């Protein structure tokens, strides 16, 4: 197990280095931030001094070396626009994103497990067909459309929930519900498919013949073996939620990482864009690493094959 974990950590580190290089290149390909920072009356000397202060007068190779050096020391730099340390800005935004993502993930996972298991147990029933229709409908609707429709119905037309912002418990209902509903269908289908595959196995049929109760059969014998596919997808779904927070936070004016990254992108605030994107990449890589470890724990054969 230790060898498997070490191998996955090494793979994640290599992926992180590649992502860091890609982010550095793409951010600078978007344009020069000096064009947005300078005024219409700026002289060439003032522009040159500003470039020198920001280190933009150096070659890309030198800038990349400074970027990697600062990253290794945990220095994410200062915002070009707000003149604040990027770490402090992330410190303000990240907890708000977690307040949105974690409840949404828990609700979608619990709902997917309950609905998926009961749909599999009641195969081809009215309930099962309804769950399949809900899953197809949910996966067909874009997340941003769901968010906009939720604001239109519950805030603009019915006036029962606040439109946007971070405040009391009522401010959480729309964004959390939107993200949960967007992620629920895919996980629900995986749980249902996994349960159906396991319930068709011979050892389950033999257990039924021996008189094992349906409750024990489903939740003790079938459920654990059906968890492999959902566990694999859980990491990707959590990662999708982190990345999908960019859309949700901007629709609901939620002061989190997604909104911070979007605002920084519009004004070409290099340090903020680099730091927020790298942090999201670290979260995604960490979640995938955690899921792989859980995956190997549930099915030891996977551990030996990948090692």
Determine which of 22-26, 68-72, 237-241 has the lowest per-residue pLDDT on average: 237-241
For residue 178, tell me if it sits in a domain: yes
pLDDT of residue 38: 67
Contact 119, 220 (CB under 8 A): no
Residue 193 within a domain: yes
Q: Each residue of 122-160: pLDDT tens digit?
A: 888 888 898 888 888 887 888 788 888 888 988 888 888
Q: Tell me if 159 is assigned to some domain.
A: yes
Dump pLDDT digits (tens) for 222-275. Answer: 777 777 767 667 767 777 777 778 888 888 888 888 889 888 888 878 888 888
Phi first, then psi: give them for residue 78, nearest 5 degrees: -120, 145
Domain assignment present for residue 93? The answer is yes
Please give the structure tokens belonging to residue 5. 């974990």
Angle of the 2-29 helix axis to the 60-72 helix axis, nearest 10? 140
Higher local confidence (pLDDT), 14 or 211 = 14
pTM higher than 0.85: no
State yes or no: pLDDT of 7 exceeds 60: yes
Element containing residue 269 per DSSP (H, E): none
Which pLDDT band, with edges at 50, 70 and 90, does 89 fall under? very high
Which residue in 215, 196, 227 sits closest to 302, CA to CA? Answer: 227
Mean per-residue pLDDT, 47-72: 79
Quote the DSSP letter at residue 161: S
DSSP bridge partners of 85:
78
Residue 306 clears pLDDT 60, i.e. is over it:
no
Q: In CATH, what number is assigned to the domain containing residue 287? A: 1.10.3720.10
pLDDT at 103 exceeding the cut of 70: yes
The tally of domains found in the chain comes to 1
Residue 37: the pLDDT is 63
Q: Is the pLDDT of residue 302 over 60?
A: no
264, 273 in Cβ contact below 8 A?
yes
Nearest Cα neighbor of 182 from 149, 138, 145, 118 is 138
Closest CA to 113 of 241, 40, 25, 219: 219
Left (φ > 0), alpha (ψ -120 to 50) or beta: where does 124 sit? left
In a domain, 164, yes or no: yes
User: What's the whole-number average pLDDT of the chain?
Assistant: 81
Range of the domain at 165: 86-306
Alpha-carbon distance 284 to 286, whole Å? 5
Q: How far apart are CA 262 and CA 196, in angstroms?
A: 42
Query: 169-185 burial, b for 16+ CB within 10 Å, e for fewer?
Result: eebbebbbbbbbbbbbb
Whether residue 35 lies inside any domain: the answer is: no
Q: What band does 303 get if pLDDT is binned at 50, 70 and 90?
A: low
Spatial contact of 77 and 264, defined as CB atoms under 8 Å apart: no
Give the ranges where 30-122 is alpha helix by DSSP (H).
34-37, 44-54, 60-72, 86-121
Phi, psi of 153 (to 5 degrees): -75, -55
**In sequence order, which ranges of the chain are alpha helices (DSSP H)?**
2-29, 34-37, 44-54, 60-72, 86-121, 126-140, 143-151, 170-199, 202-209, 214-216, 223-225, 228-251, 257-266, 270-298, 300-306
The pLDDT of residue 70 is: 83
Q: Is the residue at 53 inside a domain? A: no
Whether residue 230 lies inside any domain: the answer is yes
pLDDT band at 41 (very low <50, low <70, confident <90, very high): low
């Amino acid at each position: 197990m230790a060898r498997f974990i070490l191998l996955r950590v090494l793979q994640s580190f290599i992926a992180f280095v590649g992502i860091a290089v890609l982010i550095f290149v793409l951010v600078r390909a978007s344009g020069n931030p000096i064009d947005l920072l300078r005024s219409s009356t700026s002289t060439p000397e003032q522009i040159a001094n500003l470039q020198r202060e920001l280190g933009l007068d150096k070659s890309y190779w030198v800038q990349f070396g400074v970027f990697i050096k600062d990253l290794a020391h945990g220095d994410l730099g200062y915002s070009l626009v707000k003149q604040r340390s990027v770490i402090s800005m992330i410190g303000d935004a990240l907890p708000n994103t977690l307040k949105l993502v974690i409840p949404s993930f828990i609700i979608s996972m619990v709902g997917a497990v309950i609905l998926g298991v009961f749909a599999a147990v009641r195969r081809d029933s009215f309930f099962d067909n309804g769950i399949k229709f809900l899953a197809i409908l949910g996966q067909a609707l874009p997340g941003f459309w769901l968010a906009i429709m939720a604001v239109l119905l519950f805030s603009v037309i019915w006036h029962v929930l606040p439109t946007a912002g971070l405040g009391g418990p009522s401010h959480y209902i729309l964004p959390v519900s939107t993200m949960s509903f967007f992620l629920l269908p895919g996980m629900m289908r995986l749980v249902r498919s996994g349960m159906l595959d396991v319930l068709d196995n011979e050892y389950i049929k033999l257990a039924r013949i021996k008189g094992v109760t349906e409750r024990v059969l489903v939740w003790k014998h079938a459920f654990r073996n059906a968890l492999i596919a959902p566990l694999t997808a859980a990491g990707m779904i959590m990662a999708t939620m982190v990345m999908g927070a960019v859309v949700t936070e901007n629709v609901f004016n939620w002061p989190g990482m997604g909104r911070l990254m979007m605002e920084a992108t519009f004004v070409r605030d290099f340090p903020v864009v680099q730091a927020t994107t790298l942090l999201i990449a670290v979260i995604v890589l960490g979640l995938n690493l955690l899921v792989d470890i859980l995956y190997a724990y549930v099915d030891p054969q996977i551990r030996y094959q990948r090692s």
